Amino acid sequence: MFYETKDHHGLKNNPFKSLIVPRPIGWISSQDRDGIVNLAPYSFFNGVGSEPPTVMFASEGTHTEGDFKDSATNVQETGEFVCNLATWELREQMNTTSAQVARAVDEFELAGLTATPSRLVAPPRVKESPVHLECTHLKTVELPSNDPRRPSLVVFGRVVGIHIDDSIITDGMIDMEAFKPIARLGYMDYTLVDNVFTMRRP
């Protein structure tokens, strides 16, 4: 099949989010000017450079209370965030934190997670996650959107500090079997990284 994206795809569901897969899940912790903490998953998330380490997450749509989603708003306001990595053990809690709740709600409490202080930035980390990337805001790019009620923002951050739980380091390397990161497949589907193969470059 082929379809132009300005037209309808003709399938039961939009296939786009099931084609660029698997997408890692950046579980973004941030806080607003008053120190109200926020936590939400973003799968339009990735590393976009390693020297210096740089990440992005993309926020589509608005918060139910209007304006941009909390994560993008908080990063814009305070200039800092943390990408916690979502794992198999944390899948339910990760999902819980995607609920559209009032801005005043702390999703750490909602999901029964432990907020632990970061070293270099103000937003706390998810203690239960084995990897945290402490980030400072580089820039937010607002992309053209087809629908003014559905703004599209891409938030870029410089990774200034990285926490790795010792339990996922084996022989000085990240042990995927211990890490067990999960990723998005579109629809309501996910995958677990549990199959690793190695290829030497030519």
Binding residues vs ligand FMN (CB under 6 A): 25, 38, 40-44, 58-61, 63, 69-71, 95, 98, 100, 184
Q: Shortest Cβ distance from residue 12 to ligand FMN (Å)?
A: 20
At closest approach, how far in Å is the CB of 65 from ligand FMN?
Answer: 9
Q: Which residues contact 60 (CB under 8 A, 6 or more apart)?
A: 44, 150, 151, 152, 153
Closest separation in Å from C-beta 37 to ligand FMN: 10
* 161: Cβ contacts below 8 Å, ≥ 6 apart: 118, 119, 120, 121, 133, 134
The residue (of 46 and 169) whose beta carbon lies closer to ligand FMN is 46
Closest approach of ligand FMN to the CB of residue 61, in Å = 6
- Choice between 122 and 169, CB closer to ligand FMN: 122
Q: Which residues contact 119 (CB under 8 A, 6 or more apart)?
A: 134, 161, 163
| 9 three-state secondary structure | coil
Q: In the numeric block, which tokens belong to residue 38?
A: 């926020």
Closer by beta carbon to ligand FMN, 81 or else 179: 81
Beta strands in 10-89 (DSSP E): 23-24, 26-31, 37-42, 45-50, 53-60, 80-85
Q: Could you write out the DSSP letters of every residue in 92-118?
A: HHHHHTTS---TT--HHHHTTPPEE--
Rounded CA separation 81/84 (Å): 10
Minimum gap (Å) between residue 139 Cβ and ligand FMN = 18
In terms of Cβ atoms closer than 10 Å to its own Cβ (0-12, 13-18, 19+), residue 163 is: middle
Smaller CB separation from ligand FMN, 78 or 98: 98
Shortest Å distance, C-beta 94 to ligand FMN: 7
Which C-beta is closer to ligand FMN: that of 52 or that of 66? 66
Q: Which is nearer to ligand FMN, 77 or 169 (CB)?
A: 77
